[in-house]
Amino acid sequence: MSRIAYVNGRYAPLHKAFVHVEDRGFQFADGVYEVFPVYCGHIVNCDWHMQRLAQSLLGLQIEWPISPDVLRAILMEVLRRNRIRDGGMIYLQITRGVAPRNHAFPGANVHPSLVIIARSVDMAARHLQAQTGVRIISVPDTRWARRDIKSVALLPNMLAKQEAAHAGASEALFVNDRGIVTECASSTFWMVSQDGRLLTHPLGHAILPGVTRRAVMVLAQEMGLEVAEEEFDLQKVITAREAFLTSATNFVMPAIQIDAKIIANGVPGPISIALRKAYIDKLKKFD
């Protein structure tokens, strides 16, 4: 079955979906994106993803191309046309639009561009990976200063992920110039401290406000776990009882090694396992 995309008001087979060569997203990375996870045929945490999209658009001063309510309807139609049932994702991108190349914002007659695509995700492979845990590496955090905006300008993230791939790892963990762990290239980083607290970096300009991060934080508190948003360095991670990542399509993914250091005993920890199970159980209640 051909995958179907939505581009500026039209549905088209993916191989026939195009944007203009002077789209500012292509020339300047002047745009934002959002990833809507799909599980059991439903869009997960849709309201929170829409809220984050609104904040990203505000951060770059880009107007909504269509109303949020109409956008929700299109997301559902893209999901239906691509027949994604078990697990998948919907990728949405909004740019400032098409205009002659100039660094300053174009005039008021330019309309934002909207692109939406969807694809299935092999959830069985993700579940299998979670049983053994993943390796990550640490890299310097060279990103721009407004990481809370989900911008399409992802060059440092891409380079970090490629460095991880070269090292045979699944993810790269950013460490800033003060030695503080911020987040991963495409996920939120968590650790379980020696006193049993769940720690993750505070919200602000330094990290993306992860939607799965938000959902897992609520879930952890419901489970009676103590959650703290505070800064910590790489040495504290190495001595952690557990570590894990959260993201839209990985849910809760245990991390068992960072660089050459094994975390705890090198297997997924009980808190990571319990959180992943509880999160998936909650998603299954959509059916």
Q: Catalytic annotation on 161? A: no
Instruction: Specify the pairing of strand 227-229 against strand 198-200.
Output: parallel
Smallest CA-to-CA distance from 127 within 23, 283, 284, 277 is with: 277
Which of 16, 150, 236, 282 is labelled catalytic?
A: 150
The end-to-end CA distance of the chain, in Å, is 25
Q: Cβ(32)–Cβ(57) under 8 Å?
A: yes
Q: Cβ(207)–Cβ(242) under 8 Å?
A: no
User: Residues 147, 189, 226, CA angle at the centre, nearest 5°?
Assistant: 115
Residue 88 CA: distances (Å) to CA of 37, 85, 126, 223: 6, 8, 12, 27
Smallest CA-to-CA distance from 157 within 168, 169, 144 is with: 144
Q: What share of the chain is helix, strand, coil (3-state, %, to 5)?
A: 30, 30, 40
Backbone angles phi, psi at 173, to 5 degrees: -105, 120
Q: How far apart are CA 183 and CA 198, in angstroms?
A: 14
Q: Cβ(112)–Cβ(78) under 8 Å?
A: no
Q: Cβ(89)–Cβ(119) under 8 Å?
A: yes
Active site residues: 150
